[in-house]
Amino acid sequence: MQTVNTLDMLRTALRQLRGDGKLIALVPTMGALHEGHLTLVRRGHEVADCVVASIFVNPKQFGPNEDLNAYPRQLAADAALLEGEGCALLWAPAVEAMYPTGFATNISVAGISDGLCGAARPGHFDGVATVVCKLFQQVQPDVALFGEKDFQQLAVIRAMARDLDLTHPHVGAIIGVPTVREADGLAMSSRNRYLSPDQRVAATGMPRAMQTAIARLDSGADVAAVLAELEAEIIAAGFASVDYAVLADSTSLAPLTILTAAPARLLVAARIGGTRLIDNMAVNPLQA
């Protein structure tokens, strides 16, 4: 695997890959790789001839009080993991290469970026949309893969790609890959490493409470009552607060007060100690 950190090196390496007529899958990441990221790479190999991964801790998607400086950086270890998965190329630009002096553009996908995590993290999805748009332009992959763990991020990226006509010819398809979970159900996340042993145990209460909520929805329980119980269960498990616990339309992320035949998603964000965890699960639509 070749690692490149300038746009010139990236373009040369991509020309070589494309020269061989290969279909390219892009897996954008911020590093601190875990099994969830490696699953994206494996899926990339199923849908394309070679996988290009990027590692860039994007300052534009961190708020002033967020963990940009503390965010784990472990390029050598991450590169070894990607190489082990057969990645062809790693794009690991410095901040100055991604955002040279004078960089002044912001991409904002209105509406879908505003609620849920967008409400607690103003500007976060602008930062994501801006960097992902740049990554798409830089790599021009045939497909790009993102984890469903960040479900709102995936929806924002799909909307951005649709609105800016990026899905053809540059990024033929944006593929959402199901969340990878630890054996006890906790969704894998680079932020799980911030949890103390006690918090790590308590954190499993979130996916457990979500499964219970989905079973209650399946049995026809009232949506508002189920969401209230879900919040209470998450707090009882040891979380300090719940930012949101919402049933939403899977595409628009508009909140739902009743289940319909359209695909729906249960989305939760909650704080435990200083760590904010998110999770989401598909909800069975109402049967006709």
Enumerate the active-site residues.
37
Query: Least CB distance from residue 233 to ligand PAF, whole Å?
Result: 27
Residue matched to tokens 């290969």: 22
Roughly how many angstroms between the first and final C-alpha of the chain, as a whole number?
A: 51
Which positions from 182 through 241 interact with ligand PAF, judged by CB under 6 A? none
Which secondary-structure segment (H or E) carries 47? helix 35-47
3-state SS assignment for residue 50: strand
What minimum distance in Å lies between the beta carbon of 61 and ligand PAF?
6
Segment 59-88, which members bind ligand PAF (CB under 6 A)? Answer: 61
C-beta of 156 vs 214, nearer to ligand PAF: 156
Q: Which amino acid is at 188?
A: M
Q: Which of 128, 139, 160, 270 binds ligand PAF (CB under 6 A)?
A: 128
HSE-up of 256 (CA within 13 Å, CB side)?
A: 24
Residue 38 CB, nearest distance to ligand PAF (Å)?
Answer: 13
Tell me the closest approach of the beta carbon of residue 28 to ligand PAF, in angstroms: 4
Residue numbers 130-189 binding ligand PAF by CB under 6 A: 131-132, 150, 153
Cβ proximity to ligand PAF: between 33 and 202 the closer is: 33
* Contact code string over 23-62 relative to ligand PAF, x by CB under 6 A: -----xxx---------------------------x--x-
The distance from CA 18 to its chain's CA centroid, rounded to whole angstroms, is 27
Burial of 11 (0-12, 13-18, 19+ CB in 10 A): middle
Rounded Cα gap, residues 38 and 83, in angstroms: 11
Least Å distance, CB 156 to ligand PAF, is: 10
Number of residues binding to ligand PAF, judged by CB under 6 A: 10
Q: Which is nearer to ligand PAF, 39 or 61 (CB)?
A: 61
Cα angle value 281/33/150 (rounded, 5°): 25
Nearest CA to 88 among 4, 209, 189?
Answer: 4
CB nearer to ligand PAF: give 71 or 216: 71
Phi, psi of 145 (to 5 degrees): -120, 135
3-state secondary structure of 200: helix
Q: Which is nearer to ligand PAF, 127 or 205 (CB)?
A: 127
Give contact residues for ligand PAF (rule: CB under 6 A): 28-30, 58, 61, 128, 131-132, 150, 153
